[in-house]
Amino acid sequence: MADVQGLGEEWERNGEIRERMRESTTLCIRPDGHKWCEATRPNCVNNIHVLIPILHRMRECDDWKLPCLEALKAQVAVCHNRLGLKIKEADIYTSAIEMKKMTSFIKRRTRRMECTKD
């Protein structure tokens, strides 16, 4: 599993993520009218600032292991706490799942050397 220790602090230090979270209180950018972010190419591109630190940690593991869901949830909570934002447990879970699915999507597309057209 990828070690995501310190990820919450890294997100909090990123000015773009910090400003967006103060406006919408969510870590991932979601398409208008959607309650969650699907793992698609456009959504991955929109959320690149959140995903790059995770991908860097995955790179350090053999076989690019995905991070553990519980560890991601903890880091999402850390980021919100450091910004002084209140968040429900269900929203923490949703954010962690969104990030895990998008990193899995990127990993799968990279391994297959696929170029998406959507």
The model's pLDDT over 50-107, given as tens digits with 9 standing for 90+, comes to 999 999 999 888 888 899 999 999 999 999 999 999 989 999 999 999 999 999 999 9
- The amino acid at 86: K
| φ/ψ (deg, to 5) at 2 | -70, 135
Around Cβ 110, how many Cβ atoms within 10 Å?
A: 11
In a domain, 1, yes or no: no
User: If we measure between CA atoms, which residue out of 6, 4, 2 comes closest to residue 82?
Assistant: 6
In a domain, 11, yes or no: yes
In a domain, 116, yes or no: no
In a domain, 24, yes or no: yes
For residue 118, the model assigns a pLDDT of 58
How many distinct structural domains can be found in the chain? 1
